[in-house]
Amino acid sequence: MSLGALKKITNDKPLWDAYVEYLDSKISAAHVRIEQSNDAEAMYRIQGEIAALRRLKLMREEVNGHS
């Protein structure tokens, strides 16, 4: 995906807000899974998933050069 295509997503406020809402729902679901997990390896994997999703929420700043 080109930087131009990413700028379209990050600079379209309704689209960006929907994207962030989607990421937040995925993070919330991961929190539920981590709370219910008894396996340390699974918890570490889910922690990594949460970290990656949070990093995606910073995409707007990175694409627009505010990092």
- What the block records as the tokens of 58 is 């910073």
Q: Given its phi and psi angles, is residue 12 left (phi above 0), alpha (psi -120 to 50 degrees) or beta?
A: beta
| Extents of the domains making up the chain | 3-62
**φ, ψ for residue 64, nearest 5 deg:** -90, 5
Q: What is the pLDDT of residue 18?
A: 96
pLDDT digits (tens, 9 = 90+) for 6-34: 888 899 999 999 999 999 999 999 999 99
Length of the chain (residues): 67
Q: Within the chain, how many helices (H) and strands (E) appear?
A: 4, 0
- What the block records as the tokens of 1 is 């995906």
pTM for this predicted structure: 0.86
pLDDT band at 64 (very low <50, low <70, confident <90, very high): confident
Q: What is the pLDDT of residue 63?
A: 86
Q: What is the pLDDT of residue 1?
A: 61
pLDDT digits (tens, 9 = 90+) for 29-52: 999 999 999 999 999 999 999 999
